[in-house]
Amino acid sequence: MNMNQQHIHHLQQLQQLQQLKNENDELKKELEFMKKIFNYGDAMVFQMKIMKKQGEPVWINTHKISSKQLLELDHSPQVQQLLIEKETVKYKDR
């Protein structure tokens, strides 16, 4: 291997290391987010959904969230459906 090939190989290794570091950082961030579900100990798993607020993921409890809180989330078909359900439910289990 000549010097030029060694240099290219070294640059490729650095690039791979940076990609692995970025992937590791993203996985750590996702893990920390997933752990936040334990802050909702009074909720059933099926009640919890991941939505976005200002582009960031947040956990919501679909049975306890208010229409006002739903309107603060990023617009999506799932948020729209929850808003419709909140407005049309006649009986609440509380």
pLDDT number for residue 3: 84
What pTM was estimated for this model as a whole? 0.74
Domain ranges of the chain: 1-39, 40-94
pLDDT in tens, 36-60: 999 998 889 999 999 999 999 999 9
Question: What band does 88 get if pLDDT is binned at 50, 70 and 90?
Answer: confident
pLDDT in tens, 27-41: 999 999 999 999 998
pLDDT number for residue 34: 96
Q: Which two tokens stand for residue 39?
A: 């802050």
